[in-house]
């Protein structure tokens, strides 16, 4: 009889080994939000907090773009605060588990690894791709084409939820099948430009300035001084038009008129090539001096 009882105990242990939860390990595993709760025995709670963190983080990113104030920097801390709170909750839940906690079916090392890899390789990149296509995308600036509004080494945010209007800065995206005149573009076929003329407008550039429908524009953002592209195809006296902007197209100019590529070379930009409104500088790094340009963090662009 004693042998039967011993056999039953061994079978029970095999189904769920008694092993108390380590709060510190739950805290460390929460670097992957939700995994600490998974370890602590609260699988559903971990999944809920992971989804909640994603939702709140992307909501904060959207709010950051729409709040036209440096106070919007508060939203930048949302993901970090969220991860911290989730980790502390996982620590608390693991600490409150009894010392005779019996491991669940999901309390296995290979399952933790599988969850981490699934999130790192599939779910997180997919969410980033979806959000980057429809909500917000960050870009590192390596060209002075929009100087001085946007500086080299700025990291800018593009609002994918808003189509830029006149005088707004737009992200322009060119595909692999665009015409050969784009072969001079630097980088991956993406550039920035300010929308100057809308469909139906008559655009003209001459030595006196930029004219839309015969009216000269006041352009405090325009720069004709520095830097200048070697062998520039145009300068301050370059001419364009007068030409009417076609339907579903836009007349776009770079702020740095002696350097940036724009409609004077590329022609009118089709609506489908405009990928969103550039709203803010996320942060900026001064490579020459080796420090952040804090004054440009969360800077709204006009």
H, E, C per residue of 87-136: HHHHHHHHHHCCCCCECCCCCCHHHHHHHHHHHHHHHHHHHHHHHHHHCE
**In the chain, where are the structural domains located?**
2-134, 137-300
Q: What is the pLDDT of residue 52?
A: 93
Separation of CA 281 from chain center: 11
Report residue 267 as tokens.
């022609």
CATH number of 137-300: 2.10.109.10
Residues 6+ apart with CB under 8 A from 108: none
Of 41, 58, 50, the closest CA to residue 86 belongs to: 50
Residues of the chain with pLDDT > 70, as a percent, come to 81
Q: What are the angstrom distances between the C-alpha of 277 and each of 50, 159, 211, 272, 280?
A: 29, 5, 23, 13, 9
Query: In 10 A of CB 71, how many CB atoms?
Result: 9
The structure's pTM equals: 0.69
| Axis-axis angle for helices 78-96, 43-66 (nearest 10) | 160
pLDDT at 15 > cutoff 60: no
Per-residue pLDDT of 166-208, as tens digits, reads: 999 999 987 655 544 444 444 457 789 999 999 999 999 887 8
Query: For 130-148, how does the pLDDT look when each residue is reduced to its tens digit (9 = 90+)?
Result: 766 767 788 888 888 888 8
């Amino acid at each position: 009889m004693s042998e039967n009882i011993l056999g039953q105990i061994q079978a029970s242990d095999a189904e769920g080994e008694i092993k108390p939860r380590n709060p510190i390990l739950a805290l460390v595993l929460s670097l992957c939000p939700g995994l600490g709760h998974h370890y602590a025995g609260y699988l559903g709670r971990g999944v809920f907090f992971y989804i909640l963190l994603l939702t709140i983080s992307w909501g904060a990113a959207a709010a950051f773009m729409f709040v036209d104030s440096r106070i919007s920097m508060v939203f930048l801390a949302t993901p970090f605060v969220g991860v911290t709170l989730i980790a502390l909750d996982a620590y608390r839940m693991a600490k409150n588990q009894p010392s005779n906690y019996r491991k669940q079916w999901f309390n296995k090392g290979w399952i933790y690894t599988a969850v981490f890899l699934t999130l790192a390789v599939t779910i997180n990149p997919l969410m980033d791709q979806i959000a980057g296509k429809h909500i917000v995308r960050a870009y590192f600036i390596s060209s002075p084409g929009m100087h001085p509004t946007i500086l080299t080494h700025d990291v800018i945010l593009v609002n994918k939820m808003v189509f830029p209007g006149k005088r707004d800065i737009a992200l322009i995206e060119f595909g692999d099948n665009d015409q050969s005149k784009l072969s001079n573009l630097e980088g991956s076929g993406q550039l920035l430009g300010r929308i100057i003329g809308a469909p139906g407008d008559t655009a003209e550039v001459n030595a006196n300035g930029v004219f839309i429908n015969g009216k000269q524009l006041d352009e405090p953002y325009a720069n004709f001084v520095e830097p200048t592209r070697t062998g520039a195809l145009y300068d301050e006296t370059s001419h364009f038009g007068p030409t009417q902007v076609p339907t579903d197209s836009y007349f776009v100019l770079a702020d740095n008129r002696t350097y940036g590529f724009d409609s004077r070379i590329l022609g009118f930009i089709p609506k489908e090539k405009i990928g969103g409104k550039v709203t803010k500088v996320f942060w900026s790094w001064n490579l020459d001096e080796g420090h952040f340009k804090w004054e440009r963090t969360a800077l709204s662009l006009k």
